[in-house]
A and B are shown apart, each in its own frame.
Chain A
Amino acid sequence: MNSLKLLWYYLWIAPHLLQAILALLMLRRKLHRQFPMFFLYTAFEVVQFLTLFLVVRFIDQQLTYEYYVVYVFGSVVSATLRFGIIHEIANQVFRNYAQVQKVRRTLFRWTTVLLLLTGVALAAGIQVTGNPKFGLVVAAILDRTVSLLQCGLLLCLFLFSSYLGLSWRSSTVGIALGLGVFASMELAIAAFRSHFVLYGDLYIDLITLGTYHVCVLIWMFYLLAPERSAQFALQTMPEHDLEAWNHELQRLLRRL
């Protein structure tokens, strides 16, 4: 077995082992109650890996029909759960800000519609009929559209909350960052695959698996690090505002 193949096995097995540990630690720290969708996703990824591993080991060593059936089914469930996680993150971030819920819902609705239309328009430009690798091309296009939606929604969430200056819990930052990096890289990889139809290419697989490994490490780092308590102290105040604000105080005191 050459070193690249060895690296491939490491990148396939290690993140899922880490995810199994992460799921157990989430249970122990009761984080599964705060992030039920993320916990479900983590647990599902571990189960999917074990199933694929057993299929490869005992049933379908040549990676043909049975392997791809499990793989495609798992990918569909994973993608659905990732949408659930995005919804969960948005709920967590805006939980304390009731006044922006309406703006947030409108913004997300229109962003989703826009991204979906972009994905469909891009998919329409690809020649599918008559292609001998019809199934793979369709899979790549679907993969690309889902990644585009997830990447766009997460970027929109980050930018909107960044503009408003909302505070995130560090665990939520970690989940969103890991998922965002994964979705962005998946978008790039799916775009590459949809054009060159390169499923099963070792180097592309290594990039995909490596990205996922990095994302799992991000999740572990942020979820297991202790949550910081909110502290804030202003360092400098302009004289002008202090005067105005003290004047306001005097006005208030006169009223009382």
Chain B
Amino acid sequence: MITAFILIIIGLLAAAALVQLVRTGKVAATGSDSTAKAIHPVDLRAFRNLVDPEEEEFLRANLTAAQFRSLRRERLRTALEYISRAAQNAKILMRMGEAARLNPDASIAEAGEKLADSALHLRLYAFQATAKLYLAILVPGTNISPVRITENYERMTRLVVLLGCLRYPTNGVAAGL
């Protein structure tokens, strides 16, 4: 009896979730304007510092165990926020890359494709890094090194600049974005 009721509720919730995902644009058709279009700033130097093992060793050596654990948790939570922002930016830039991929100009289409690929990679790394960071928060001794995120974010940045230059050669990057 309980199993039947649970499955009925799961079925109804799944139907509602599917409709909601489409309605809110989480699963969006090409050309949809429903996604957020604002890029959030990401300070890569600060992020690198937050996940730097040497920095962590320095703090461990100079703080009491309790202080270190508390500070480490705070630092990891902040790193999670950075990753979330980078992943959000990647989602937006992926749409931008996909739109550029359909451009009749071959160089713009190529740059768009590279940007979309890079942004997609970043989202995959962000997923892994988020899992690692949560694990590190829960299990204090875990080592984390989400370096790929910063490398990929920098690569994506370069591609956005390149795409901006190709699309708007006379007005600079800002106009292109």
Contacts and interface: CB of A to CB of B under 8 A. Distances in A.
Interface of A: 97, 99-100, 103, 122, 125, 144, 147-148, 151, 154-155, 158-159, 161-170, 172-173, 176-177, 180-181, 183-192, 194-196, 227-242, 244-246, 248-249, 252
B120 A245 contact: no
Given A147-B11, A177-B19, A188-B8, A165 B172 contact: no
Contact of B117 (A99, A184, A195, A246): A99
A231 B91 CA distance: 15
B28 A167 contact: yes
Contacts of B161: 245-246, 248-249, 252
Given A163-B123, A238-B39, A248-B158, A173 B27 contact: yes
Given A164-B123, A228-B31, A252-B161, A151 B42 contact: no
Interface residues of B, number: 63
B127 interface: yes
B39 A191 contact: no
A100 B9 CA distance: 32
Q: Taking chain B's interface residues, is the majority helix, strand, or loop, or is none over half, making it mixed?
A: helix
Interface string B52-78: 000000000000000000000000000
A154 B18 contact: yes
A242 B10 CA distance: 45
Interface of B: 1, 3-5, 7-12, 14-15, 17-19, 21-22, 26-33, 35, 37-44, 90-92, 94-96, 98-99, 101-102, 117, 119-121, 123-124, 127, 154, 157-158, 160-162, 164-165, 172-174, 177
Given A164-B120, A228-B30, A181 B174 contact: no
From A167, A184, A233, residue with most partner B Cβ within 10 Å: A167
Contacts of A183: 14
A230 B26 CA distance: 16
Return the 7 tightest CB-CB contacts between A and B, nearest first.
A188-B11, A228-B31, A191-B7, A165-B91, A184-B15, A187-B11, A170-B29
